[in-house]
Chains A and B, each alone.
Chain A
Amino acid sequence: DTGVSQDPRHKITKRGQNVTFRCDPISEHNRLYWYRQTLGQGPEFLTYFQNEAQLEKSRLLSDRFSAERPKGSFSTLEIQRTEQGDSAMYLCASSSSQYRGEQYFGPGTRLTVT
């Protein structure tokens, strides 16, 4: 078990560009979460998948954000028309229904919008 992985680790983009991040959860975990963390703050929930179904989206997830988890395995988070306010660390976590609530986090993708 290699843990949760995220790619890329760092992304610098210009305002207005689209970006996509990938998360590979722990293989036997059916639950996958995306969070966003800005400097000096705790992570904030963005969205949640159980298997391939996206079951909850935060109000933070504007219509420029979209997330998918095809086949219930890896997940992607896309941000369209990036804005400077999107600069943050994007964290992915996964958990198993058998282990209630213990979410294991990946290293994150740090996005800088210039």
Chain B
Amino acid sequence: DTVLTQSPALAVSPGERVSISCRASEGVNSYMHWYQQKPGQQPKLLIYKASNLASGVPARFSGSGSGTDFTLTIDPVEADDTATYFCQQSWNDPWTFGGGTKLELK
């Protein structure tokens, strides 16, 4: 299976820029997607196919990368962005998710 590796946690101050990384154990072309999940809620799609902003998502969120290395950037970070962020690939079978990065605000 394609393993997606994310750093477990980050802490940033409101107004700063934060980059969340996701590294795949094998190439996933551009079929990497990013989600935000808050406690007790379903995940919300932020970015699809590496760099496309999902409908209704603020332009503060952006995605980049291809192959095995991908990044979700939030600039500027707001208090409401406190959540866990997951990457997910849909290129290799089975589709897999990263372990999640918990974003905390200072």
Q: Do A and B bind each other?
A: no
Where the two chains meet, the residues of A that have a C-beta atom closer than 8 Å to any C-beta of B are none
Where the two chains meet, the residues of B that have a C-beta atom closer than 8 Å to any C-beta of A are none
